[in-house]
Amino acid sequence: MHRFIVIEGNIGAGKTSLATSIAEEYMGKLILERFTENPFLPRFYENPKEHAFSVELSFLADRYNQLKTTLDTPGLFSNFIIADYYFAKSLIFARVTLDDEEYKLFRQLYDIMNHALPRPDLLVYLKSSTGRLLDNIGKRGRDFEKHISKEYLNKINDSYMAFFRQANYPILVLDLQEETDFVHNQGHYEKVKSYIFKEKFSPGIHFLSLDA
């Protein structure tokens, strides 16, 4: 049903864990974001204003290169491709971190690159409370993430929602409850997975709660 699935979400939402589990179960080709290779990221979290344009431009180039290369040469034995981010993530974060003049230039570069990439058959957004996100961020213990604030996470979530309202491909927003644990709870994982694969969604936003 879906040849190209994207798992998106705010920082600490569990994107990589879910995408990895689905790829392993269905032998899909997995694309994981290479954020740890970005030399500007630790500097950005320490001083966002000074390093915002550098970090966003670096992510833009790396995401484009990774997606273009991978999506142009799909694995011969993969049923589908699944990624833990999509190219639009660059625009969503840039809207929050850049000033207006920087964003205008960034948007021009984004639009040029975006035309060369395919749209996902389905984008799944893992919507979590800010408290849950901060708890997950703290548990994984990445030193450069210790400066992430509640306010920043709220702005990122709002930027995602604003972007989704104008997207022209299917988007499934899964509202995760505080107790949801699809990493360690097989029942929760099966339920999340069933929502993703149970039907072919039409273009636009579709909201589902885990307890729906």
- For the annotated catalytic residues, the residue numbers are 84
Q: Degrees (nearest 5) of the Cα angle 107, 59, 55?
A: 90
Radius of gyration of the chain (CA): 17
